[in-house]
Structure 1
Amino acid sequence: MASANYGPSEDQFLCSICLDVFTDPVSTPCGHNFCMNCINEHWNTSDQNLCPMCKKDFITRPDLRVNTFISEMVVQFRQSAQQKASSSSSEQQESKPGEVPCDVCTGTKVKALKSCLVCLVSYCETHLEPHLTASRLKRHQLMDPVENLEGRMCTKHDKPLELFCKSDQTCVCMLCTVLDHKNHDVVPLEEEYEEKKVELKLTEAEIQQMIQKRRVKIQEIKHSVDLSEEDAGREKAEGVQVFTDLMESVGRGLKELLKTIEEKQEATKKQAEAFIRELEEEISELMKRSAEVEQLSLSEDHLHLLQSSNIHQPPPTKDWTEVSVCPSSFEGTVVRAVSQLEETLSKKMKKWFAELKRVQMFAVDLTLDPETAHPRLILSDDGKQVKLGYVEKNLPNNPERFWRLFCVITKQSFSSGRFYFEVQVEGKTEWYLGVIRESVDRKGLIPLSPQNGYWIIWLINGNELYASDDPPVVLSVKSGPQKVGVFVDYEEGVVSFYDVEAAALIYSFTGCSFTEKLFPFFSPGGNKNVSNSAPLIISPVGVN
């Protein structure tokens, strides 16, 4: 038998037994040609002297001699094939590090084009030709070139690894299923390959979801830092205002106050940056694993895919569900800094009371408009109270009515001057109050911001107070106010909110540009929590 595969282009130069170029070709009486060793070994292992091609039975084994004509033709063909292979190999690209070289090339190793799972040999374009032209070699299974083809053979039985044992999660040969893996759940490699590809797709999707969650967490942390910075800015501004009103001798206290706030904010920022770095490292690792999974999922190499179990699952990562960065708390910083200046602070409080008394001079009488109320709202007969009911009433969807927000506005509107009103919110854990412009969208759900015509504040969870800026502003309060005062200066573009009992300013929108009618806005919030069943009450304005 020939020891190497060459590149013939015609089937007549191939022995039909060894599928290689003839060595010592002989002809049988029936006219078929074989290698001398091949036909003799065939007959030695058979009880009959049959021709492997036409099955003619020779009663007596023929006396075979080398066919000199065919032998000379084979010699000429070998020389021509060698020249052609040498010429073609010189034109082909030499294999580079990391690429699979041709196992047949002598001298310069050319990059392999395919690997044969039957021959366990990798071929360049030239030496692959017999597998593309010879009818018997066409039956061999070709794949993209891979190294270590011997690793595709069972080390125990020297048979191809064609099956997968699901019981032991390993690749096996046909003999393994009879001996070592008898009665195990065994399937073809192709079948397990398809299942693993599905698993890889799910793993890739899971990794992408994990990446997305971490990106969202980064944004959440950054937003927390932004809120903390805004809170710090407001607290510093208040500190500057208070200490500017005090005697020059307390300058050192102001400097210490600012230093404390900055240190707290810096600590919060450093914590957030540490979390972000860790998240970005995990994202980098996940993206790397995602690329590996994607590359593996595209592979046609069944064995390699099944043996690469280390990337069938996402890499170990930290559980970020409960991780968050809480904005630094500056509550009480200013108060502690000025506690020793009790007399001066008392004067400041008197000034605040005077400010509330001034805006109360612009009090107006308001009545809720039932034509604008959401169908689930319940209004009192006098139009001074509103709460959320459990049943949606069958009301006409007229243009004035709010259809998605649980809210109502007043019959009165304002397009100039100043006005003030007070609302009792005692006993509630959620509410929304303020003013809106006439042209707001009353049928959909939109962000409650000045850009969309809403100048409001709201309370949730009993003590979390926000202002409807963009983004919403977190307001520092120890507990929710019991009565809220709302003051609007149309021409100056100011909307201010007061804690009436504390005579303290809660928040002010400034620099507003009003160009149309403004309506007082009321929403009692949701009623999933029984503790929020109390109504909002428009209260008469009195002296505090």
Structure 2
Amino acid sequence: MPSWRGWRPPGIYKRTCLVPPVQSGVSDGAREGDGEGGFPLSPVPANVTHTWRCGVKERRGGATPRGAAELGGGSPGPSQPPVEADPALPGSPAPGVGPFPQLLSALSFNPLTLQAGQSPLFGVPRCSQCLSEAACPNKALFSYSLWPLLEGLCPRHLQPLDGFCRAEQACVCARCRAHEHRAHDVVPLEREREHKEVPKFLSDVENELEELAVTITQTRKMVELIKGAASKERERVEKLFAEASKVLATFQKEVVGFIEDGERSMLAEAEANLQQKEERRAKLAQCKQNLENVPSTDTIYFLQEFQALKIAMEENLSPAPSFQNELSFTKSAQAVCAVKDVLSDACKNQWDHLLGKEVDGLIFQEMEEAVAESQFPEKSNSPACLEGRDYFLKFAFVIDLDSDTADKFIQLFGTKGAKRVLCPIPYPERVTRFINCEQVLGENLMNRGNYYWEVELIDGWVSIGIVTDDFNPRESYDRGRLGRNEKSCCLQWNGQNYVAWFGGFESVIQQPFFHTIGVFLEYSEKALTFYGVKDSKMTCLQQLKVSRFKKGQFDAFQNKINCRFPSLFSYNLKAAFFLESVDAHLQIGPLKKDCVSVLKRR
């Protein structure tokens, strides 16, 4: 098989490829890459004496080159002009001499036109001297570099580009116009250039440039304006944050000072009272000792000492401190917590406002407020507030105090009465017993329907409320008291007014004192209401229930109710009582006799 390693299509390279200089070391008449009856696979050497000689002999003998016969070309006719070799190359034959024109005609070969099974071999003049070297690799062609395609030629058809397709915006040749771009609008290159260089288009370009220049100037001004506005806003925000920090620092200083002042005043009062009691005790002890030391025979001295002891006993001392504001500074933490929650909510709301979240939900918010107004009416419009005591007695519920939950400083009177004492009571150890707070629970569970019970406040500070059945009675004092956590709530009487507690938040109630408090629990409605009971009239003190704020109003206590109070009704509930002061005393009841039958049925 012939070697194709050195073959190159004609017409792509310089003509020097056909007649290169003689490679050193190659003998005269030697040709490489030439196969039997085939196309010469290497450039034609400059010294082709024996090749042309053999060719002339074959031509004179009437032989027809096989390559020409296979391609159907035959020998070139007289109308074909002879191809002239470059006279500058050494060894090139004279123009029109010998078989050189036929050789170049045979070299006019396009491998893309080969049919299936056709061998790209050509019968060209050759000599038998080269046959032995025909199958050898072409060594001479390795040293030659490829020449690039000429500019202005179609890369597909290798023909000059002379037209422009406006459909595909590309230059095309004659064959492209006849095939791929036959249906396209193809114009000469000069006409397309004239079209591109129309003054109107150039004018549009100039206008665009001017507009871009103006836009760039405006954009630069806008950039500077944005930078300046952001810088000023940043300075204002930093200043406002500094002022807010000063406000918080001032508030912190005032709260700390309030705690210190309360501690100082209460300590002074307590220490003065302690000193008086110690002096009185020492004086009484001395008078008693003197009376005991009087001889039994000295009646006059005995009467004198007895009179001194009696005077000492009857001395009017300053009253003991009532501690009505007992540890009032302990509410400081709750106040700071309320400020923190309000600040946190305000920050979140304002951040949402900055992000524009309320814009899309404005209509929904108005609808929600309208629904809330119809769903959560005012207390004065509630039917429960208009009903008398007989209405609530229909839901009367028996409350029995559970002795296994009572703190050791609470003395129980049966299952209805409780009083706080100074001496601990040796109750048996129970895991359900309160150990840090003077509290006691009811035995009965409440988990559906409506419940009503009454509590009589006999003396002292008393809190009445409910608690979940899974509440840990061994919580610390701060977290274990009724209403100071999210698992309980209560109504407290602190000696001056009523206060509602839930989750550590309080709501002061401006109402007169009532000896009897009615508690109405609506489990299904998730509501708890406290009433002041006097004769058959009911005065609503506080209702704990989810409700919406009126526009422009915010209440931290109600906000806590809205967030966490409904979760209480996921548990079984129990009645709970907290006897805060040392003289606290309460009694469950009384209820009317005509409701006994109702209690029996329940």
Coarse TM-score class (shorter-chain normalised): 0.3 to 0.5
The structure in which a higher percent of residues are helix is 2
> TM (normalized to structure 1)?
0.34
Q: Rg: which structure is higher? A: 2
